[in-house]
Amino acid sequence: MAEESVSSQAVRNFLGPIKDLWDDPSVSEILINGPNDIFIERGGKLHKTDKKFPDEDALRAAVNNIAQSVGRRITFEEPRLDARLPDGSRVAVVIPPCARNGTTVSIRKFTQTKISFKDYIAMGSISADGAQFLDICMFLGKNLLVSGGTGSGKTTLLSLLCSRIPRGQRVIVIEDSSELKINYEHVVFFETKQSDSLGKGEVSIRDLLKSSLRLRPDRIIVGEVRSAEALELINAMNTGHKGCMGTVHANSPEDAIVRLEALAAGGDGKLSERALQYQVSAAIDLIVQISRYSDGSRRVGAISEVLGQNKDGTYNIRPIFQMSRLVKRPDGKLDGQMEPSGELPSFMQEILDNNLPFPASKFTKPGAA
């Protein structure tokens, strides 16, 4: 642990001109667009700073040092870097000639603050009933997909959901770079491995997913589904592994499941489109859509159930909870919250059979008779 702290300090020292931004807990992300153009994200909003590096060479040297400190490389032949820093922060870099503004860096800072659903509700990110419903879905072992754009809070929400898994289960977490912080007693973390300078030794999310199936998982969590591993995750969901979860980049529940299908299609060319669509619709029970809104807030905008396919081949997705109309206040903040749509989940009888304190009246649409 002491060695990790020293490494984290060393990385901050490489980026001397922005060290105070890194140490500022109100700054969630640092964006460097060349040596003279540096922005930060604070409270969900972007702000330009007056910070600068002496020149492009100084910035490039800092990036090279960071890459070496985490056992990665960034060169003219490999002009991109995506790595997890010792303190859990994520750094992404693109260098010239691909980056025309100069060396371009994004540092998404890791926060040690642990939040509960109670905190999440207080922040206005979800309604109390919406949070309780997701808690019930975790208890019942529903397969769930968290959908949203970059920086919308997918990882935070997935961490929260994982912490609500009933005790006594074995959870395997698979990520490209470890980000999920899960408060659970029996959890195994796997992280991908890049190839070496000879192009050998790569271990992908798909490889780790295949291995995890032989390691007696009760639940499999994939930090981000971005490639052909989608097919392995779908197969796991359809073969008795209840309560599996993952995140995907998409702007709506409808987009999310279509994207999952497209990713899974790259995993096995022998599967017909119809068979793949059937497997996808059978695997996913719920899609939780989270978004970053114009006032900088991050909120769950919809919790939708996947109910198979329609006759025209599209997915039948029905909102159970969805965001109400948002009204902008004089201070720029948005007023509104997630409300029930008036539809009962198809597993309402399961909720009743398990004596869970969530009556059907909780799903009544506001204003309905």
Tell me the pLDDT tens digit for each residue of 330-348.
Answer: 888 888 889 999 999 999 9
pLDDT in tens, 53-64: 999 999 999 999
d(CA 8, CA 51): 21
pLDDT of residue 135: 96
- If you average pLDDT over every residue of the chain, what do you get? 89
Residue 7 confidence (pLDDT) above 60: no
d(CA 325, CA 309): 28
pLDDT of residue 369: 56
Domains of the chain: 2-108 (3.30.450.90), 117-363 (3.40.50.300)
pLDDT of residue 16: 84
d(CA 139, CA 156): 19
From residue 121, give the alpha-carbon distance in Å to each of 44, 117, 126, 300: 17, 6, 5, 10
- Above pLDDT 70, what percent of the chain? 95
pLDDT in tens, 129-167: 999 999 999 999 999 999 999 888 898 899 999 999 999
CA angle 243, 160, 82 (to 5 degrees): 95
pTM of the predicted structure, to 2 decimals = 0.83
pLDDT in tens, 252-275: 999 999 999 999 998 766 778 889
* DSSP helix/strand/coil, 217: coil
Contact 225, 235 (CB under 8 A): no
Better-scored residue on pLDDT, 8 or 228 = 228
Residue 11 confidence (pLDDT) above 80: no
d(CA 113, CA 88): 12
Which distant-in-sequence residues (6+ apart) come within 8 Å of 196 by Cβ? none
